[in-house]
Amino acid sequence: MRILGLDFGSKTCGVAVSDPLFITAQGLEIIRRDKPNHLRKTLSRIEQIIVEYEISEIVLGYPKNMDDSEGERVELTKEFMEMLERRTGLKVTLWDERLTTVAADRLMMEVGVRRENRKDYVDQIAATFILQGFLDNRSMGLN
């Protein structure tokens, strides 16, 4: 069993999975779509990943604003969470994703990924940070 981490965006969904011991998160892929509301293929791919990696739980990035308020992205994320729960039957936990994209971008700068290539990886790395934060919190008994 593993945990799936997702960074849900308007046209992409970054994906990460935990190891079987729930210690580390590894980036897996970015699911891309042409239009924000075309989620059928995204949900289908997530279902395939759930089967392939024997996923038991999902952690979904929760895009609150820096001032702790909730904007339009939060509502879209909650709708996506409900779709995931209905389609997969798995528990979906919302996890604060503030600054994960900034951290992912900073990491890529540090390792020398060219600016024009960062968009190819940022959502996958952000999903990894979301999941790793959840795993670390869980290992300390805070979840």
**pLDDT > 70? residue 20:** yes
- Walk me through the domains of the chain, giving residue ranges and CATH numbers: 2-139 (3.30.420.140)
Distances (CA, A) of 121 to 78, 90, 105: 24, 26, 9
What pLDDT, on a 0 to 100 scale, did the predictor assign at position 134?
Answer: 94
pTM: 0.84
In which band, very low, low, confident or very high, does the pLDDT at 99 lie, cut at 50, 70 and 90? low
**pLDDT > 90? residue 107:** no
Q: How many CB atoms lie within 10 A of CB 13?
A: 25
Greater model confidence, 122 or 56: 56
**pLDDT > 70? residue 66:** no
